[in-house]
Chains A and B, each alone.
Chain A
Amino acid sequence: GAVVSQHPSRVICKSGTSVKIECRSLDFQATTMFWYRQFPKQSLMLMATSNEGSKATYEQGVEKDKFLINHASLTLSTLTVTSAHPEDSSFYICSAANSGTGGYTFGSGTRLTVV
């Protein structure tokens, strides 16, 4: 079945630095990927839709200059958290549609801690 690989699984960074998170579709091509953020004990909030070969579409309230998304190939999307601050600490998860099941396949997530 469709597998989405995400890494790193955990990252601790200093305030002011940037962190890149990668999401790869391993056995299928994903022209579109989705990036979510999840705070403890809360639901998943859609941040942006990553489109292969074109600009990402950001949800209202998400700063595009802070959360840079690149989808340069059909199997790779990256999210870069720029100038990270402690309030950016969260669980970031990517997903892609699974044409076989009709559902979405999620990466294993990246737990970002900014100190």
Chain B
Amino acid sequence: GQQVMQIPQYQHVQEGEDFTTYCNSSTTLSNIQWYKQRPGGHPVFLIQLVKSGEVKKQKRLTFQFGEAKKNSSLHITATQTTDVGTYFCAQGAQKLVFGQGTRLTINP
């Protein structure tokens, strides 16, 4: 499957600060999905984006899909300690291929 590059690898913030992780592909994606994995846990589906330029919000989380459908971002406003974990983007039609993930740690 197509590889998606995800940055940054790590991000440490103060509680209350914002956080953003980015995914980029060299080719056009049919869709992109976002997952959160808590330390010691398993990935949990957050959202799927399909349309060019799509923006979806879940409370403090904002997900975007680029106009060219080659990049996507997840932005968390005013982080809380419950946001700690690794955020993965993933893509694929027949099988899901994951980005490298961004590990978010938060200083309370």
Q: Which residues of A contact B (CB under 8 A)?
A: 34, 41-46, 49, 93, 95, 98, 101-109
Contacts and interface: CB of A to CB of B under 8 A. Distances in A.
Contact of B98 (A41, A44, A107): A44
A44 B43 contact: yes
Nearest to A109: B42
B72 interface: no
B95 A101 contact: no
A105 B43 CA distance: 8
A102 B88 contact: no
A65 B98 CA distance: 25
A45 B99 CA distance: 10
Interface of B: 1, 31, 33, 35, 41-48, 50, 88, 94-101, 103
Contacts of B88: 43-44
A98 B96 CA distance: 12
B80 to A, nearest CB: 23
A95 B96 contact: yes
A34 B103 CA distance: 23
A93 B42 contact: yes
A27 B101 CA distance: 29
